[in-house]
Structure 1
Amino acid sequence: MTTAAYKYLCQFETETGERFFAKCDSTEPTIGDSVSAYPSFEDLAEDRNATTATIAKLLPPLPRMDLPIYCVGLNYRSHAKEARLNVPANPPVWTKPAAALSSPYETIPVSRFCASHLPDWEGELVFVTARECRDITPEDAPSYILGYTIGNDLSCRFFQLPEQSGGQFFYAKAFDKFAPIGPVLVSPDVFKVRDREGPATLVTRVNGVVKQDTVLERDMIFPPERVLSWMSQSTTIPAYTVVMTGTPAGVGIFQKPRQTLKDGDKIEVEITGLGTLKNEVRFEGGQESIM
């Protein structure tokens, strides 16, 4: 499909649990609205089989929700500085499993195990691939991007400590529901990281308090086209793959004093032109003190 088929795209459930896609008028779909709805993303792209349905619950605005989620580390100068790490020559890449995906406005259940190991936030710009790709150049990469949205790369920092898990990323970030994404997918014709009227900013708030605040094009090291090109070298990236592009300074582990997520915390990640991703975390089994 071409990105011209939509400006703002959402996926939702009805009260009866049916799932639909819809073209939205803005970055803020309204629960309770009746919209022209399509049973599949392909139907929306071809403008066929439309019906009318009422939005009861927003889902991640993704054509597929069964693929691994690619993630990028150290992609903001400010975050590399606060972590006291050198900027790498290429984007560090790992994945989260599909089970990590969660929805906008969803209350995220956090187990006692996760709650007890330094849970943290990471507001991120996200893009989604439009078609399968392999060995593409940065110049070709924009034509492979279906759209942009917002993510929160939730992390248990304890498991990133070198003495605990060798400094790896995957285990710390791969827990169920640790990748909320949404609320809408915005066409590249509408959202452009480096070509806007005024700078696009990323702001993360926890319980209304600003924790992260940056201008994307000034702080980001590897733009989406560079990330996608690097990921695709000798690697087949499926259509509709989610890519979380890294986080700026202001994560909890580097706050002074150090901060972690607490039961009932409300996290909002807002990016200019993409809307606001909102989630609450709930510690299902309480929390142990480990440090």
Structure 2
Amino acid sequence: MTTKYGQGTGQMDPAELRSIFGANLRRLSRRYQSVAGLCRELGINRTQFNRYLSGESFPRPDVLYRICGFFGVDARILLEPVEAIQPDNRDLFSHPAVSEFLGHGSVNVAEDEFPSGFYRFSRPSFVNDNQFVVGLVYVFRRDGFCFVRGYEPKEAMRQQGLQTDAASREFRGVFLRQEQGVAALIARHKALTCSFNFLSRVSSYENNFWEGYATRTVRESLNGRRAARMVYEHIQTNQRAIFHTARHGGLTAREDLHPFHAKLLNLDVPFR
């Protein structure tokens, strides 16, 4: 029996498989301005990624799994045109029930209003009145939306009796444009709780600070906060600050806060 994929074998020729995969990967990659940036997001060597794009090579199963998860497709990317396997794109913000209330204007967060890159943030701990959370988040844009990604401190997760592995600590969210700043809806991986953040730019020497607050979707408790002030500092060009925060971020004492962060947090003024 002869098929269009091979001579009497019923199987596709490896060269044709590589060609289909390369073509699909090129289509998926067109949405990204920088191939180098895409490779960093995927954690794949640029030279090897170029071999995938040109149809010269197949990815290993673990790399294929990573690629499929990133682009929201499945392993049929090896066999069929990508248009045939991508799920229908249901954009919540374009739904007629909310499009005139939470539509394009709210999701279109301009780069000059809230730049992409790394941010250092500080806020009081939700569960310990004497501690503060200092962390690093990465803000990025994809398909016209502004997203954020980061990790909860291990100590904070442990205090709440939660798992402390990287997958459990990771959180992601989306930013929305607001009249006086930006708002974000953020959740941990597969969690049914989330936090709402609001940030407004404040005057500073480099114009790179935002102040606001974070709230979480939990019941009222006598032993913890549901809302707290928060400060974001854009540190994209400060490699030293990025590495220092990545290594030493977590729970900290008041006296160890960055001085300007402490000032913006108004630590001696009740939050309202």
Normalising by the smaller structure, the TM-score range is under 0.3
- Higher strand fraction (1 or 2): 1
- Higher helix fraction (1 or 2): 2
Q: TM-score, normalized by length of structure 1?
A: 0.25
Identify the structure with bigger relative contact order (alpha carbons < 8 Å, sequence gap 6+). 1
Q: Greater CA radius of gyration, 1 or 2?
A: 2
Q: TM-score, normalized by length of structure 2?
A: 0.26
